[in-house]
Amino acid sequence: MPATKGKTVVGLVVTVTLSVAVLAGVGVLLHGHSYYNAPTESATVKGTIVGPDGKTYPHAFISDGIFGDPIDSQAHGKCNTLTVQEGTPAAAACDGGHPTWPSYGPYTHLVLPAHAYVTMTLHVYDSGGSLNVPYYASVVGTIGGTANYDGVDKASIDPTAVQHTFTLHGVPTSSQDPLFVNVPLPQSDDADAAGSPLPKGHTVTFSFITGGKGNYVWNCEYPCGDTSYQGFGAVMGSTGFMSGKVTVI
Amino acid sequence: MDDHEELAPTPGQRAGKFLKQKDIIQTIALGLFFTAVFVVLGLWFYPKWMPEAMSKEMVGDEGILKWFTVISAPIAGIVLAISAESFMNRRKGNEPATEDGAGIKTHGPVVLIWSAVSGLFCVLAIVWGIVEMNTWTSDALTNAPHALVVDVTGSQWAWSFEYPSLGVTSHDLYLPVGVPVQFNVVSADVNHSFWPVQLGVKVDANRLETTVVRTTPDKLGHFDVKCAELCGLYHAYMETNGEVVTQANFNNWIATAKANGGTES
pLDDT tens-place string over residues A62-76: 999 999 888 888 888
Between chains, do A138 and B155 touch, taking CB under 8 Å as contact?
no
Q: What is the pLDDT of residues A25-48, one digit of tens each?
A: 998 888 776 656 789 999 999 999
Using the Cβ of B239 and the Cβ atoms of chain A, whether some distance falls under 8 Å is answered with: yes
This complex has an ipTM of 0.75
The CA distances from residue B47 to A67, A179, B44, B112, in Å, are: 52, 31, 6, 35
Q: What is the pLDDT of residues B81-116, one digit of tens each?
A: 999 999 888 877 777 777 777 777 788 888 999 899
Q: What is the pLDDT of residues A217-248, one digit of tens each?
A: 999 999 888 877 888 888 888 888 999 999 99
Between chains, do A135 and B233 touch, taking CB under 8 Å as contact?
no
Nearest to A64 by CA among A111, A116, A117, A124: A124
The CA distances from residue A47 to A44, A154, A249, in Å, are: 10, 26, 18
Check if the beta carbon of residue B65 is closer than 8 Å to that of residue B50. yes
Determine the angle formed by the axes of helices B22-40 and B11-19, rounding to 10 degrees: 70
Least confident of A111-120, B112-121, B214-223: B112-121
Q: First CA to last CA across chain A, in angstroms?
A: 55
For chain A, the average pLDDT equals 88
pLDDT at A243: 92
Check if the beta carbon of residue B69 is closer than 8 Å to that of residue B119. no
Domain ranges of chain B: 12-88, 147-264
Q: What is the pLDDT of residues B19-76, one digit of tens each?
A: 888 899 999 999 999 999 999 998 988 888 899 999 999 998 898 889 888 988 998 9
pLDDT more than 70, % of chain A: 92
pLDDT at A36: 63
Which residues in A lie closer than 8 A to residue B241 (C-beta atoms)? Answer: 178
Cα separation, A220 vs A223, whole angstroms: 8
Sheet strand arrangement including B148-155: B211-215, B181-187, B148-155, B158-163, B168-170, B263-264
| H or E element in which residue B155 lies | strand B148-155
Domain ranges of chain A: 1-35, 38-248
CATH dotted code for B147-264:
2.60.40.420
pLDDT-based confidence at residue A16 (cuts at 50, 70, 90) = very high
The CA distances from residue A105 to A170, A236, B115, in Å, are: 21, 15, 64
User: Beta partners for B243?
Assistant: B174, B222
Quick check: helix, strand or coil at residue B140? helix
Cα separation, A82 vs A211, whole angstroms: 41
Which residues in A lie closer than 8 A to residue B94 (C-beta atoms)? Answer: 4
Q: What is the pLDDT of residues B127-152, one digit of tens each?
A: 988 988 888 888 888 888 889 999 99
pLDDT at B100: 76
Give the nearest partner residue to A219 out of B157, B224, B265, using CB atoms. B157
Cβ neighbours for A113, distance < 8 A, ≥ 6 positions apart: A43, A45, A58, A60, A210, A248, A249
pLDDT at A74: 85
More confident residue, B59 or A79: B59
Between chains, do A132 and B160 touch, taking CB under 8 Å as contact?
no
Residue A172 has pLDDT above 60, yes or no: no
Using the Cβ of B233 and the Cβ atoms of chain A, whether some distance falls under 8 Å is answered with: yes
Best mutation target, B52, B263, B264, to test chain A (most A CBs within 10 A): B263
Between chains, do A182 and B190 touch, taking CB under 8 Å as contact?
no
Cα separation, B133 vs B139, whole angstroms: 10
Cβ neighbours for B201, distance < 8 A, ≥ 6 positions apart: B55, B57, B183, B195, B213, B214, B215
Nearest to B66 by CA among B81, B90, B48, B78: B48
Between chains, do B188 and A230 touch, taking CB under 8 Å as contact?
yes
Between chains, do B237 and A217 touch, taking CB under 8 Å as contact?
yes
Q: What is the mean pLDDT of residues B181-202?
A: 95
Residue A87 has pLDDT above 80, yes or no: no
Which of the four CATH numbers 2.60.40.420, 3.40.50.720, 3.90.1150.10, 3.30.497.10 does domain A38-248 have? 2.60.40.420
